[in-house]
Structure 1
C-alpha cells in the first residue's frame, strides 16, 4: 500500500519534544483511507549541537567518542560535554516517544546518517576527514553498526508491541565520496574517489546490523542516483531518491539513467522511497498536487514499470531545505497523504 513517512527533523526547541512527536503520530493517523502511515521519531535540531543529524548519529558510535571541533564533529580521545549533550537529547526524544506512542503497534521509522556520509563529515582527532583513512572509515562502519543495533533495541524498549522498525540511512554524500570531489582539510586537494565495490563493503555492515535488529533498511541517497546500485548490492530493502532534484521544468522527476536504476532495483524487490519538494500553491486552487503526482507516476510509466507497483512506493519530503514553522510541516504531511492517495488509485486501476 502506498505510504507516507518523514525523515525526522521537526521545528521546535527544548521541551517541545513531546508535542512534536504527538503531532506526527496524530497527523499521520489521519491520512486518507488506502494510505499507510509510517510515523517517525522526531528530531528537533533547533536545540543546538548534538541535536543535529551528524552529532546525533556520531553519539551512537560504539567505542568511538566524539566532540565538536573547529570544522564540526570530530573523533575524540574520550567522552566529553558535547557527546553527553547529544546523548541527553536522544534520551529526551525517546522519553517523548514512549509517552506519545503508548499503545502504538504499527511501524516506526528512525533516521541516522549512513557510514559514508558520516565518514565524509566527521574529522579525525588530529587530521583530515575520517574518509581519508581506509582503516578509520572501516572502524566507523563497524562502530555505527553496533550503535544502530543498540538504537533499535532502545526504541523497542520504549514502545513495547511496536511493529516494523524502519531505519533510514541518510547517504547524501555518497555521490561525492564516489566521485572524489570532497576537499581535504587544507582545501587545496581532493580526497581520492572510493570505487563502487568499496562503497558496497562500507554499507554492508550497517545494513546487516539493521536486519540483525529485526528492522527494515532504507538507504536514502538524496539526489545521488548513482548510489542506487551500491545500495541494492549492500542488501537495502528500499532506496530513497529526491525526485524533485531530477529532470527539468518540462519533465519533472525524469532522468533516464536514474530511473533505469530504479527499475532494476524494483526487479529485485527493492522499493522506492520518493522524496518530493513542497507543492506550488495557487491563490485560486490551493496546493498544486497534480504536478507532484505526475513527478512520480509519469517517470514510473515511462520507464516501463507496472502501474500496480506504485502501491509499494513511500512518499516523504525532500530533506535538504527548511520549512518555517510547525504548520508548514503539518500541511506538507497532509499534502503527501493526498498525493499518495492519488498514486494508490492509479495502482488500483492498473
Structure 2
C-alpha cells in the first residue's frame, strides 16, 4: 500500500511506501508481563518498524488467539478445556482480553511519547491471528471448529476485518502513526492440507480448497486501508498460496525453505511483494553468534535464486525466526539488536557482504 503525501500542494504528491526493505521488525510476542517495559524496549530497538507487543505470559486473553476477542465486532470468545469457543454474550474472557489490549495501547502510547515519536508519522505494526487460524483453533458453541461451518467462517472473517479497521484507527489516533497490519496464520498449511482434527478422532475436517482460502484471507486483507503482512511460522509455509493473496508482504522462517520452494519464492519476489525473513534464532545459540552468521542464509538464498543482492535492501525485511515470548529476556534483547544489525547491513552495502 502507498500513501500519498505532499509538502507543497502545488507539486505532484510523492508516494510513500510504508513497507520498505532493509529494515528490522519483530514478529510480535515478547517475554514477561510488563507492557510498559516491553513497549519501551521494542520502540528503542526497532526504530524503523516497532510493533504493538504481545505478552502471552499474562495468560488467558493475552495469547495469540485469545487477544483477538478484544478486536472482533459482535463476536466474542469464552474459554474451554481445549482452548476458546464462540460465546453468545460478553464473557470474562472477552472482558479480560479487552482490558489487556487497553493496557497494551496505553503502554505503547506512553513509550511513543517518551521516545519523541508522537505526531511524527512513524510507522508501527500491529498483529492479529488471521481468520483461518482462528477458524481452525476456535470452536463453535457445539464443540466443532469454526472452520467446519462456512457461514460462521464468513461471519468471523468479516468481524475480524472490521475489528482490525477500528484497531488501526485507534493506533493512528493515539500515536499519530501510520500502521502496518500483520496477520498471523500458523495453521494455514494444516487448513490447506486437511490435517486438522475435530473434537474426536472420529471427526475429520476436510481441506479448505485454495480458492476458498484465498477468498477468506483477501476478505480481511482488502478491507484494510493499511498494508498487510501475512505471517506464518509453519514448518512448511505454503508459499504459492501466500504469494497469490492480496497481502503486500509475506513473512516466514527462512530455515523452513527447501529446494522445492525456490520457484514459488522467486515468483513472489518477481511480483514485487516484500518478504520479512525470519533469520535470528528465538533461543540462545550454543556458540557465539554475529550478525554475519544470521545474515548468511538470506544472502546465500538470494544468490541461489539469481537475484541481485540489492533485493536485500529493497524487498527484504529482517525478523527473528518467530515470536520471542519463550526466550530468556537477555537473549530477546540481543536478538533484536542482531536483527537490526543484519537489516542495517542489507540496507547499506549488501553487495559487499562476505563470509569465511
Normalization by structure 2: what TM-score?
0.86
Q: In structure 1, what is the equivalent of residue 32 of structure 2? A: 12
The answer on 1:89 being equivalent to 2:109 is no
- Matched-pair contact (CA < 8 Å) for 2:249–2:276: yes
In structure 2, list runs of 5 or more residues that go unmatched.
Answer: 1-20
Question: What corresponds to 1:33 in structure 2?
Answer: none
The question of whether the paired residues in 1 share the 8 Å contact of 2:310 and 2:350 is answered with yes
Match of 2:210 in 1: 196
2:151 to 131, 135, 141: 135
Is residue 272 of structure 1 aligned with residue 289 of structure 2?
no
Given the alignment, which residue of 105, 108, 119 partners 2:135?
119
Cα offset, 1:281, TM superposition: 4.8
Q: Structure 1's 349 and 290: CA in aligned 2 closer, same or farther, altered over 3 A?
A: closer
Partners in 1 of 2:267 and 2:234 — Cα distance? 17
Cα deviation, 1:78-112, whole Å, max 9, x if unaligned, reads: 11111000000000000111111124231111110
Change (3 A) 1:93 1:155: same
Please state whether the residue corresponding to 1:294 is helix, strand or coil.
helix
Q: Secondary structure at the match of 1:147?
A: helix
CA distance in 1, matches of 2:233, 2:312: 20
Shift of 1:64: 1.0
Number of residue-to-residue matches in the alignment: 325
Q: Deviations over 1:252-305 (max 9, x none)?
A: xxx1232321211111111110012427353xxx31443321211111111122
**Aligned match of 2:52:** 41
Aligned counterpart in structure 1 of residue 186 of structure 2, from 172, 175, 187: 172
Distance 2:202 2:347 in 1: 50
Q: Confirm or deny: 8 A CA contact 2:253 2:277 kept in the other structure.
A: yes
Task: Give the Cα–Cα distance (whole angstroms) in 1 for the partners of residues 259 and 348 of structure 2.
Answer: 25
Tell me the distance in 2 between the aligned counterparts of 1:58 and 1:179: 27
- Give the CA deviation at 1:349: 5.0
Give, in whole Å, the separation in 2 of the partners of 1:304 and 1:137: 40
The aligned counterpart of 1:297 is 299
Other-structure match for 1:3 = 23
Q: Secondary structure of 2:125's partner? A: strand
Structure 1 gap ranges (5+): 30-36, 247-254
Give CA deviations for 1:234-268 in whole Å, capped at 9, x if unaligned: 3110011111233xxxxxxxx12323212111111
1:42 touches 1:93 (CA, 8 Å); kept in 2?
yes
For the residue of structure 2 that corresponds to 1:53, the secondary structure is coil
Give SS of 2:127's match: strand
Judge conservation of contact 2:125–2:182 (CA < 8 Å) in 1: yes
Rounded to whole Å, the distance in 2 between the matches of 1:290 and 1:67 is: 46
Name the structure 2 match of 1:337.
340
Counterpart of 2:166?
150
Q: Secondary structure at the match of 2:85?
A: strand
CA shift at 1:224, angstroms? 5.8
The match for 1:310 is 312
Q: 1:223 to 1:291 in 2, by over 3 A?
A: farther
Task: Give CA deviations for 1:179-229 in whole Å, capped at 9, x if unaligned.
Answer: 00000111234210011111100101110122x3xx110001223655333
Measure, in 1, the Cα distance between the counterparts of 2:324 and 2:170.
29
Q: Which secondary structure does the structure 2 equivalent of 1:155 belong to?
A: helix
Question: Are 2:187 and 2:234, in contact at CA under 8 Å, matched by a contact in 1?
Answer: no
TM-score (norm 1): 0.88
CA distance in structure 2 between the aligned counterparts of 1:209 and 1:291, rounded to whole angstroms: 39
Any idea what the Cα deviations from partners look like across 1:313-348, whole Å, max 9, x if unmatched?
A: 111112266544322111000111222233334535
Name 2:75's counterpart in structure 1. Answer: 64
Q: Distance in 1 between matches of 2:325 and 2:97?
A: 22
Of 63-72 and 175-184, more deviation after overlay is shown by 63-72
Is 1:23 the counterpart of 2:37? The answer is: no
Q: Matches of 2:91 and 2:339 in 1, distance apart? A: 41
